[in-house]
């Protein structure tokens, strides 16, 4: 008899990574639910997205991470809860945990991580410490609970860092000038949002990923900013003019930049200058997505760049 797929609730399903999680959940055959603050939002793009989910069979529930009753009511309908709320709502995720404890039926909780491994790195910027500590706090609360979890360490989103070669204020890889952060040699891991979502959904019913860190580390996607730029230059057939912003210069810029813009620069510093995504080895508490799911045909950074040529 075929095993039935868990019912999956996505909180934050209208967001940047959330919408990919919803699509992957549907595609992989899970009865899929989303919890939204407004089922009929005034933003036409968001309203259209929710409608498209409904048309694909998604059950839309109204609720809020800060509304306990709505969370309990939603969690009672599902087996798995995935949160992809934004950074500002990360601390509120302990309320999802409280609701999961109350229902007692949640088989897996995947909190809003989808970034760097924030436990295993040395931090030399106050703003980064503050941001990463909120994710660590949620992890510790989840680990203390009886709720099985998976922490998804996804690497950088291609839409955030490959589509612009990690440059600011551009929506496609630059064709003339590019800014290089630090010496451009620190290795990052950059994955498409589709692949991150597919691996995440693959893990929800997989006992091998229970109470583990799921790292998404395709070998071809370990690339420094310098290597990504060189790949792009080869594709377009000419070299770009480079402006180098040294590590110390970038730290100074971050310190002088107001909140919240400083967060985005600080994360860039962590990924592309310090190499925090690749500075540690995997151990007993880790599993790696391409090893668990070799059937997934992931997109390499090189292939991703082809769409812009």
By CB under 6 A, name the one of 14, 150, 225, 278 that touches ligand NAP: 14
Structure tokens, 106: 């949640």
- Residue span binding ligand NAP (CB under 6 A) among the ranges 22-30, 53-61, 110-118, 209-217: 110-118
By CB under 6 A, name the one of 32, 112, 203, 299 that touches ligand NAP: 112
Residue number, 95 or 233, with CB nearest to ligand NAP? 95
In angstroms, what is the minimal distance from the CB of 130 to ligand NAP? 13
What are the residues facing 36 on neighbouring strands?
Answer: 62
Residue 64 contacts ligand NAP per CB under 6 A = yes
Residue number, 78 or 89, with CB nearest to ligand NAP? 89
In angstroms, what is the minimal distance from the CB of 247 to ligand NAP? 20
By CB under 6 A, name the one of 32, 154, 224, 225 that touches ligand NAP: 154
Residue 114 contacts ligand NAP per CB under 6 A = yes
By CB under 6 A, name the one of 65, 106, 125, 152 that touches ligand NAP: 65
Residue 89 contacts ligand NAP per CB under 6 A = yes
Residue 15 contacts ligand NAP per CB under 6 A = yes
Integer CA distances (angstroms), 60 to 50, 75, 194, 230, in order:
8, 13, 21, 44
Residue number, 246 or 277, with CB nearest to ligand NAP? 277
Residue 115 contacts ligand NAP per CB under 6 A = yes
Structure tokens, 178: 């590019």
The site that binds ligand NAP (CB under 6 A) totals a number of residues, namely 27
How would DSSP label each residue in the chain? -PPPPPPEEEETTTSTTHHHHHHHHHHTT--EEEEES-SS-SSHHHHHHHHHHHHTTPEEEE--TT-HHHHHHHHTT-SEEEE---GGGSGGGHHHHHHHHHH---SEEE-S--S--SSSS----HHHHHHHHHHHHHHHHHHHSSS-BEEEE--EEHHHHTTTTT-TT-SS--SSEEEEETTS-SEEEEE-HHHHHHHHHHHTT-GGGTTEEEE---GGGEEEHHHHHHHHHHHHTSPPEEEEE-HHHHHHHHHHSPTTHHHHHHHHIIIIII-TTSSS---TTEEEHHHH-TT--PPPHHHHHHTT-
Residue 218 contacts ligand NAP per CB under 6 A = no
For ligand NAP, which residue has the nearest CB?
15
By CB under 6 A, name the one of 17, 82, 186, 216 that touches ligand NAP: 17
Contact 114, 17 (CB under 8 A): yes
Residue number, 102 or 233, with CB nearest to ligand NAP? 102
- Residue span binding ligand NAP (CB under 6 A) among the ranges 84-92, 145-153, 201-209, 286-294: 84-92
Catalytic residues: 135
Q: Which residues bind ligand NAP (CB under 6 A)?
A: 11-18, 36-37, 46, 64-66, 84-87, 89, 92, 112, 114-115, 154, 156-157, 160
């Amino acid at each position: 008899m075929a095993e039935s797929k868990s019912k999956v609730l996505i909180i934050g399903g209208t967001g940047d990574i959330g919408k990919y999680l919803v699509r992957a959940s549907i595609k992989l055959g899970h009865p899929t639910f989303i919890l939204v603050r407004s089922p009929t939002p005034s933003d036409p793009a968001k309203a259209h997205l929710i409608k498209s989910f409904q048309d694909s069979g998604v059950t839309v529930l109204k609720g809020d991470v800060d509304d306990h009753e709505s969370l309990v009511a939603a969690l009672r309908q599902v087996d798995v809860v995935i949160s992809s709320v934004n950074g500002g709502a990360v601390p509120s995720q302990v309320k999802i945990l409280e609701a999961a404890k109350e229902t007692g039926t949640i088989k897996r909780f995947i909190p809003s991580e989808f970034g760097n491994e924030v436990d295993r790195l040395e931090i030399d910027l106050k703003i980064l410490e503050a941001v990463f500590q909120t994710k660590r706090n949620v992890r510790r609360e989840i680990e203390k609970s009886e709720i099985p979890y998976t922490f998804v360490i996804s690497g950088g989103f291609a839409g955030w860092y490959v589509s612009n070669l990690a440059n600011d204020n551009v929506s496609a890889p630059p064709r003339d000038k590019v800014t290089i952060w630090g010496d451009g040699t620190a290795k990052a891991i950059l994955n498409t949002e589709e692949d991150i979502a597919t691996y995440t959904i693959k893990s929800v019913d997989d006992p091998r990923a229970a109470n583990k860190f799921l790292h998404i580390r395709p070998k071809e996607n370990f690339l420094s900013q310098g290597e990504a730029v060189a790949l792009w230059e080869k594709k377009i057939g000419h070299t770009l003019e480079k402006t180098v912003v040294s590590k110390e210069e970038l730290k100074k810029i971050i310190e002088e930049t107001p909140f919240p813009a400083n967060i985005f620069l600080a994360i860039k510093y962590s990924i592309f200058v310090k190499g925090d995504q690749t500075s540690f080895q995997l151990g007993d508490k880790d599993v790696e997505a391409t090893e668990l799911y070799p059937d997934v045909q992931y997109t390499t950074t090189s292939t991703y760049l082809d769409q812009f040529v």
